[in-house]
């Protein structure tokens, strides 16, 4: 095929050049009503990029799924361990906890999780929860608590959850006395349990 023929093939048909302004555009810039037939390189490159992106997404998905499985195991072990630590008559794996608040550090690569919950079936607002800090690997479905503290559970209704903040926590014990939270704050900022109801600093938007 001659260059002239090739050029003629690349040019859109007369009706495809559009009207008015578009008709004055050079052929490489002019709009076309249908794609010209090429040798398929463009489609090949696009398909190659799509396959690479698909592989990336597949690897990321499987990696993240496996990561979430690990986090789920930790969560399960944390809850079981919390029950075992707080229930002296612990016998089975599925003991009692109420209103659990779990702060899992799933964003940085540590295994520090904090589980706060009530030992009795009460509404959390205005009660004191027991918080335990877990670190390390899962052994036989349990994890080791390195310390803990008590948390004054502020909040009034379903939309005001318990917040694990230093200003609501007191009575640190074990490693929690010296250990700092991931944001650098101490675990306990209150010297003693609160005596009066203090409206929580939540829902302030």
Partner 1 sequence: MRQARHSGRAQGAAISTGPAGAPSVAPPARAAGAPALGRLIARRARAHAQGAPASRWQIALGALAAAAMVLTTGWIVADAAVGGSPLLPYSPYFTGWLRHLTGDRLTYSVFLGCLLGFTAAYAALMPLARHLPTRALVALLALLYLICLIGPILLSTDVFSYIAYARMGAIHGLNPYVYAPANIAHDPIYPFVGGDWIFTQTAYGPLYTLLSYPFAFLGVVGAIWGMKALALGGCVAMDWLAWRCAQLRSIDPRTALIVVGANPLVVIYSLASAHNDFLMIALMMLAIFLTIGAPVAAEGSAAAGSTARVPTGGRRAMTLRREAWSAAALVVGALVKATVAAILPFMILGRRRAGAILGTVASLVVGLGIAYLAFGIHGVDIISVLNRDSMYVSTDSFATEIAHLLGKPGVYPIDHTILKGVLVAIGLYLLWRTWRGYDWVAAAGWALLAITVTSTWLLAWYLIWPLPIAAVSRDRRLLYATLAVQLFFVIHQISPLFTPE
Nearer to partner 1, 72 or 126 (CB): 72
Distances (CA, A) of 187 to 82, 154, 166, 167, 198: 18, 17, 6, 9, 19
Kindly report the backbone phi and psi dihedral angles of residue 202, in degrees, each rounded to the nearest multiple of 5, phi listed first. Answer: -130, 160
Do residues 196 and 148 touch, judged by C-beta distance below 8 A? no
| Least distance from partner 1 to the Cβ atom of residue 105, Å | 9
| Least distance from partner 1 to the Cβ atom of residue 51, Å | 10
Do residues 159 and 85 touch, judged by C-beta distance below 8 A? no
Q: Given the rule CB under 8 A, which residues bind partner 1? A: 12, 15-16, 18, 22, 31-37, 46-47, 50, 53-54, 56-69, 71-73, 75-76, 107-109, 157-159, 161, 203, 205
| Least distance from partner 1 to the Cβ atom of residue 116, Å | 17
| Least distance from partner 1 to the Cβ atom of residue 173, Å | 29
Nearer to partner 1, 75 or 190 (CB): 75
Do residues 63 and 54 touch, judged by C-beta distance below 8 A? no
What one-character-per-residue DSSP string does 116-129 give?
EEESSS--STT-EE
Nearer to partner 1, 72 or 136 (CB): 72
Nearer to partner 1, 13 or 88 (CB): 13
């Amino acid at each position: 095929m001659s260059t002239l023929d090739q050029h003629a093939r690349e040019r859109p048909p007369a009706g495809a050049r559009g009207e008015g302004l578009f008709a004055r555009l050079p052929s490489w810039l002019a709009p076309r009503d249908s794609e010209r037939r090429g040798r398929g390189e463009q489609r090949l490159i696009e398909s190659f990029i799509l396959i690479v992106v698909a592989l990336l997404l597949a690897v990321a998905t499987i990696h993240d799924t496996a990561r979430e499985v690990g986090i789920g195991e930790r969560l399960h072990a944390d809850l079981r361990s919390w029950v075992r630590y707080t229930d002296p008559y612990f016998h089975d794996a599925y003991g009692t906890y109420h209103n659990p608040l779990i702060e899992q550090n799933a964003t940085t690569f540590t295994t520090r999780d904090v589980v706060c919950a009530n030992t009795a079936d009460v509404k959390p607002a205005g009660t004191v929860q027991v918080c335990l800090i877990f670190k390390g690997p899962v052994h036989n479905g349990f994890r080791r608590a390195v310390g803990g503290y008590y948390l004054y559970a502020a909040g009034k209704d379903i939309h005001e959850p318990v917040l694990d903040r230093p200003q609501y926590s007191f009575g640190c014990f074990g490693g929690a006395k010296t250990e700092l939270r991931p944001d650098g704050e101490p675990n306990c900022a209150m010297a003693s349990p609160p005596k009066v109801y203090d409206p929580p600093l939540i829902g302030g938007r």
